[in-house]
Amino acid sequence: MPALCAEAARMAQGTTISIPYLPSEDDTARLAAARTVRELGFEPMPHLSARRIGSRAALEHFIDRAVIDAGVERCLVIAGDLSTPAGPFADSASIIESGVLERAGIKVVGVGGHPQGHPVMTSADRWRVLERKCQRIEARGMAPLVITQFAFDADVVLTWLNELRARGITHPVLVGIPGPASVARLVRYAAMCGVAASTSMLSRYGISIGRLLGTAGPDVFVDRLVDGLTEAHGQVSPHLFPFGGIAQSMEWVEHYRMRAGELMVQDGRCSPHPPSLD
């Protein structure tokens, strides 16, 4: 949180800030983070790791306090990495079906999208599960939001978006983008999160595997993504993972906006509004 506070003035008010469910923290720390995000003028989005939640009462208490104390209106539900659930929630669907979220006042529920595949589910299962989750969220009076894991290949993401819309899933999408960081750190996070990071995929991102001591930003990825998006893709926005730190990520955002604005003028598309990165 100190890093966020230090950079808050450089960020647009209302920006959604994710609050990850870190095993090293408890609900008290997560609620404090949500309150800080709200006090800074941003939109807190706590993550709920289903298999790490010990009881229904614990979930109810956390969500109630998050809504009352921090004005939380959205959350991201994930299964979590425990092989055996610590409580009654085996997966994100079980949290959705519990009824806890809508009764507390949650309005938007984020669910995971996997353009680069899933470690245990087939492609058919991934689509079936995603469609089902979105349907159940809507049936409970809330709005689904699809949030993807970060990726290195924009063409893979665009192909996935095409299939998403072809299947009639029209909900907003946040595309995960690795923020600027050392190449070694990006590769390490990819391995930790199960994200494909082959030499060819990294080269498409603009990274040479021979320069692991260097740094890389997502310029190539974002350029390709923006160029490939059409109205048919619906509402698609970036979700920046600040792997190199919030300050470095904000510097990249500012530089990218400036460069994007200059390119639009050079291309005859004079506009004061380059692609949004909030």
Is residue 267 pLDDT above 50, yes or no? no
Is residue 170 pLDDT above 90, yes or no? yes
Token pair, residue 182, equals 């050392």
* Percent of the chain surpassing pLDDT 90: 65
| pLDDT, mean of residues 89-115 | 97
Q: What pLDDT score does 197 carry?
A: 61
> What is the C-alpha separation between 252 and 248, in angstroms, rounded?
6
Strands (DSSP E) contained in the chain are 16-19, 43-49, 74-78, 108-113, 143-148, 173-178, 181-182, 215-216, 236-241
> What is the C-alpha separation between 233 and 50, in angstroms, rounded?
30
Return left, alpha or beta for 99; rule: phi > 0 is left, psi -120 to 50 is alpha, else beta.
Answer: left
pLDDT single digits (tens) 26-77: 999 999 999 999 999 999 999 999 999 999 999 999 999 999 999 999 999 9
> What is the C-alpha separation between 27 and 58, in angstroms, rounded?
9
CB proximity list for 215: less than 8 A, separation 6 or greater: 180, 181, 182, 183, 244
Is residue 253 pLDDT above 60, yes or no? yes
CA dihedral 243, 244, 248, 250 (to 10 degrees): 0
pLDDT single digits (tens) 186-239: 777 776 666 666 566 666 666 655 555 566 778 888 999 999 999 999 999 999
